[in-house]
Structure 1
Amino acid sequence: MEKIKISIEFCTLCHWTPRAVWMTQELLYTFQNDVAEVKLIPTDGGVFRISVDDEVVWDRKESGFPEPKAVKQKIRDVIDPKRSLGHSDK
C-alpha cells in the first residue's frame, strides 16, 4: 500500500496552531506506518481543514471542530475501510 500524505490547514489568526499540532500527533500515532508526510499549512480566514492525498476529509466550516476519533475514522475509511481502530471505533 502506498503511504498517504496528510495536510492540515489552520488559521494562525485564530490561534489554532496548538490544535493543528495536537491533531498531527494523534494522526501520526494512529497511522504511523501509513503516513509518508504530514504537512502543516498556516493560513487565515478561520480555516481548519484536514486532507488525505488532496481529498478533504474534514472541514471546520462544514462540520465544526473535529475530535481526533472522528478524523481517524474518516482517514481509515479512505485508506482501509475494514481496518479496526481499536478504542477509536467505540
Structure 2
Amino acid sequence: MTTVEIEYCVPCGFLERAEAVQHALLSQFGEGIDELALVTGDHGIFEVRVDGEVVFEKSEDEFDVDRITRDVRAYVS
C-alpha cells in the first residue's frame, strides 16, 4: 500500500505545483498508488511524502516534477 501526500502552502500559491506533481504521479504510476492526497498548509511549505517519509522538501531541493517522480518510483510497487 503506497500513500502519497503533497502538502503545499495555500497563501504562497503552490496549488499549481501540487497539482502538477499529482498529475505526474497518477499518470506515471496509476494503480500503484493506493492514495494520493493534497494537504493544505502554510508558512511556505511544499513537501511530498510517501508512506510518511519525506522525498521532497522545498527548502532543501529544487522543484522538478521529473525528479520528484523518479524519487517516488522507489516506493511504488
Using the size of structure 2 for normalisation, the TM-score is 0.91
Higher relative contact order, structure no. (Cα contacts within 8 Å, ≥ 6 residues apart): 2
Larger radius of gyration: 1
* In structure 1, C-alpha distance between the alignment counterparts of 2:76 and 2:4, rounded to whole Å: 12
In the other structure, the counterpart of 1:46 is 44
RMSD: 1.2
Measure how far apart 1:33 and its partner are: 2.0
Percent identity at matched positions? 29
In the other structure, the counterpart of 1:70 is 67
Using the size of structure 1 for normalisation, the TM-score is 0.79
Gaps of 5+ in 2: none
* In structure 1, C-alpha distance between the alignment counterparts of 2:58 and 2:66, rounded to whole Å: 15
Measure how far apart 1:37 and its partner are: 0.8
Measure how far apart 1:79 and its partner are: 3.5
* In structure 1, C-alpha distance between the alignment counterparts of 2:6 and 2:32, rounded to whole Å: 16
